[in-house]
Structure 1
Amino acid sequence: MSDIGGMLGGTSATQPATPEIQAIADQVKCQLEQKTKKKYPIFKAVEFKSQMVGGTNYFIKVQVGDNDFIHIRVFESLPQENRPVALHDYQTGKSRCDELDYF
């Protein structure tokens, strides 16, 4: 098990986004655009936290404009469940300085 996950139930420390996290964010971009009814020409994962819960919740801060950020919560089920990652929640109107918290 990698060190990304942290303890079961608790969230990890905030970490810089990795290519893996960018790939996870990219997979839910269309779901987010449908929910917010917006298109995001910029969609850059900046940082993230993770939480192990019979799968993994990822809390990802995504840059969508010059100083416009969205926090997304994405659930990745266990590999044997063979399900796509899913956008579970999001918060708009965030700035670069806003703390990435559980939501």
Structure 2
Amino acid sequence: MNGYDKWSETLDPTKDIHRISKQVKGQVEKKTGEDYLEFKAVKYRYQMKDGGENYLIKVNVGEDYNHLSLFQAVPFEGKIVVRCVQQHKTKDDPLTPFP
């Protein structure tokens, strides 16, 4: 990462990112009103902040992709909050920060 408060480059998902995406699937389905049969992280970015870490995760949901904006508070065993979901993205849409 390039420094505190800066977003990382777009990266391939790690085991932790796959775990996080599975953990928030229910929250995402509630926000979007969708029931996803497929829900797999394909790319992500992160940002270290005071009190926790922000994540942007691109998730393959079948015919298209969702971008997830998440926050995980310190300690990192804590709950992950889905801040916002952008639906109907493509494989090539860049992961750019959003509220």
TM-score strictly above 0.5: yes
Structure 2 unmatched runs, 5+: none
Structure 1 unmatched runs, 5+: none
**Aligned partner of residue 65 in structure 1, secondary structure:** coil
Q: Distance in 2 between matches of 1:51 and 1:36?
A: 24
Matching residue of 1:56: 53
Matching residue of 1:102: 97
Offset of residue 6 of structure 1: 4.5
1:76 aligns with 2:72: yes
1:20 aligns with 2:16: yes
Same amino acid, percent of matched pairs: 37
Deviations 1:33-60 (A, max 9, x none): 0111110110000010000112100100
Q: Which amino acid aligns with 1:36?
A: T
Q: Which amino acid aligns with 1:78?
A: V
TM-score, normalised with respect to structure 1: 0.88
Within the candidate set 34, 38, 43, 1:38 is matched to: 34
**Aligned partner of residue 15 in structure 1, secondary structure:** coil
**Contact 2:43-2:59 at 8 Å conserved across structures:** yes
Cα RMSD over matched residues? 1.4
**Contact 2:68-2:86 at 8 Å conserved across structures:** yes
TM-score, normalised with respect to structure 2: 0.91
Q: Distance in 2 between matches of 1:50 and 1:37?
A: 26
Runs (4+) off by over 4 Å: none
